[in-house]
Amino acid sequence: MNPSSGRNSSDEYALAWPLQAALALAAGGIYPLAFAPFHWFPLLFVSVAVLWWLLNRASSRWALLAWVYGLGKYGVGVSWIYVSIHQYGGASPLVAGLMVASFVVLMALFCLPIGWFVGALQASGKRPGRGALAMGFVASWLLMEWLLTWFFTGFPWLFAGHAMLGTPLQGIAPVFGVLGVTSVAVLVSLLLQVMVDKTQIAAHRGYAMGGLLLLIGLSMSLNGVSWVTSQGRYDVALVQGNIDQAIKWDQDQRFVNVRKHMGLSAAHWDADVLIWPEAALTLFGRDARQATNALHGQAQSSQTNVIVGMPDVQRQTGEAPQFFNTVQAFGLAQGRFAKHHLVPFGEYVPLQDYLRGLIEFFDLPMSVATRGPALQPNIRLQLPGIQHPVEVASGICYEIAYGDTLRRQAATSGVLLTVSNDTWFGGSIGPHQHMQIAQMRALENGRWLLRATNSGVTGVVNERGEITAQLAQFEPAVLRAEFAVMLGTTPYTYLGDWPVLGVVLIVLLVVVGRLRRTLSETD
């Protein structure tokens, strides 16, 4: 349907269903190319605009069309999961392919609200205005991304706002977070579609250009605002061990892993902060105490803040032992942080009675992890020139994707930390997408972010979301770089996602109310 001209889906612009589905699949397939490592961000506008165009011209199956779009989006965008299941999990290509396909089919369901809202308006019996359709489309897209932050534990990946890093639209992030950037990016996509659509009258195309310039101007003006100030610059050493995932948890390799990390750290005990990646230590019990006592003693003698990713087993009388994925502080640093957002099938196994033994990584110690508390004290650093301890807001691996969780910790912190083991995903696009998400967390909260990984991407990100130093992947090395401790908070750190969610709720209520009135008038 063309809302501006009054044509409906039966006119000359209607498309046959197979062609609609093919275009939706292709549009979804190019969507991930806007993200790291490709960074072809204009393709996001093309992708979203094509879906919008298709939904406007469909006469039925709107939700199915959105689901097909989701198949393309996730089929390309999360293809890296295959590497972990097949290459490192030991599953056959068939089993790995079926598991990834099932996951893609499930994730594509999150796109259904987009098609449902537009379709409900289109099928209401009267031609809805372009404004109502556009509001429903943008609000339902945001509803999709919000659901991905919590529903079934969430999978906050491939958010449109992540692809806007390095563009004028990123100025929205410190104020309204990644969901705010997404809303602007999707709206820009619709405006661009109107501008290039020659079936639109000149006035509508002019309004679209005016709206586009207004959004870009607002974003650019916000991009020039400094929300935080520096409290001082310090030296960090990020250790990248590049331990082979196939042997990392082997009993005879665990002390070898420790010696490798100690060897890489030997020349860097003079750093203000020394960080080892997720599960750098794979020791338990007495062995773990022996290694951490040596580490703590070395850190104390060199007056260094040390943070190490390691498993932590806690036992209480009469209860089964609990396994936590943690980062722990040694030397001048203090504290412990346990991962709260666990990875399904990676750190806990749904239907484990059926799946354990099917794939090797389901039997690793890390696959029986216990969730850390939702609210935990931050790790604290002792840094020269700062009288009080500097808090570190931590996110272990996958949970850096949960912006609202991290921003609550960031409110009292001076720096952000994430450790990861993206070795599971080999040379795929996954680790690069992960780093881009971490960059967004730095931008949202106006904090430098320190990222230590086993095999990459290890790097330092400044408060504007820019990578200032980075190691090459798959090389054992240490990244020595500077970072700043920041003071102050961004509006997003203070308010979180509530302003954007409030607008989404209002818009959806308005659209649904308009739909109900239209239906009642039709009856």
Q: Which of 73, 111, 145, 397 is catalytic?
A: 397
Which residue did the predictor score with more confidence, 248 or 362?
A: 248
Question: If you write DSSP's letter for every residue of 55-67 in order, what string do you get?
Answer: HHH-SS-HHHHHH
User: Across the strands, what pairs with 477?
Assistant: 240
Confidence of residue 327 (pLDDT cuts 50, 70, 90): very high
Give exposure, 194-220, as e/b (b: 16+ Cβ within 10 Å): bbebeebeeebbebbeebbeebbebbe
Q: How far is CA 337 from the centre of its chain?
A: 20
- How far apart (Å, rounded) are the C-alpha atoms in residues 351 and 371? 17
Burial of 6 (0-12, 13-18, 19+ CB in 10 A): exposed
Q: Is 145 a catalytic residue?
A: no
Q: Before 37, cis peptide (omega within 30)?
A: yes
Give me the count of residues in the chain: 523
Write 159-164 long-range contacts (CB < 8 A, 24+).
Answer: 160/44, 160/48, 160/185, 160/186, 161/185, 161/440, 162/35, 162/433, 162/436, 162/437, 162/440, 163/34, 163/35, 163/39, 163/41, 163/44, 163/436, 164/41, 164/44
> Which residue is catalytic, options 145, 339, 347, 391?
339
Tell me, what's the pLDDT at 152? 82
pLDDT of 382-433, one tens digit each? 999 999 999 999 999 999 999 999 999 999 999 999 999 988 888 999 999 9
pLDDT of residue 12: 45
Residue carrying structure tokens 């750098």: 280
State yes or no: is 111 an active-site residue.
no
pTM for this entry: 0.93
Q: Please, which residues bridge with residue 391 across strands?
A: 380
Q: What is the pLDDT of residue 130?
A: 74
Distance CA 110, CA 87 (A): 28
**Mean pLDDT confidence for 53-67:** 93
Distance separating alpha carbons of residues 64 and 76, to the nearest angstrom: 19
pLDDT of res. 509: 85
431-459: average pLDDT: 97
Side-chain half-sphere exposure of 367, counting CA atoms within 13 A? 18
Q: Residue 321 pLDDT > 90, yes or no? A: no
Mean pLDDT over 487-515 rounds to 89
Give bridge partners of residue 184 from the DSSP assignment: none
Q: How confident is the model at residue 3 (pLDDT cuts 50, 70, 90)?
A: very low
What the chain holds in terms of domains, given with CATH numbers, is 34-225+499-522 (no CATH), 229-336+376-489 (3.60.110.10)
Mean pLDDT of 72-81: 95
Q: In 3D, which of 447, 499, 487 has the Cα closest to residue 175?
A: 499
Its sign, for the CA torsion 254, 255, 259, 262, is positive
| Catalytic one of 73, 111, 248, 278 | 278
Averaged pLDDT for residues 213-242: 95
Predicted confidence band at 342 (pLDDT cuts at 50, 70, 90)?
A: confident
**Phi then psi for 464, rounded to 5 degrees?**
-100, 10
Q: Report the pLDDT averaged over residues 353-365.
A: 53
- Assess whether 339 carries a catalytic annotation: yes
Confidence band, pLDDT 50/70/90 cuts, at residue 108: very high
Residue whose pair of structure tokens reads 């931590």 in the numeric block:
394
* 362-385 pLDDT, tens digit each: 555 556 778 999 889 999 999 999
Q: Specify the pLDDT at position 14.
A: 66
Q: Is the pLDDT of residue 519 over 60?
A: no
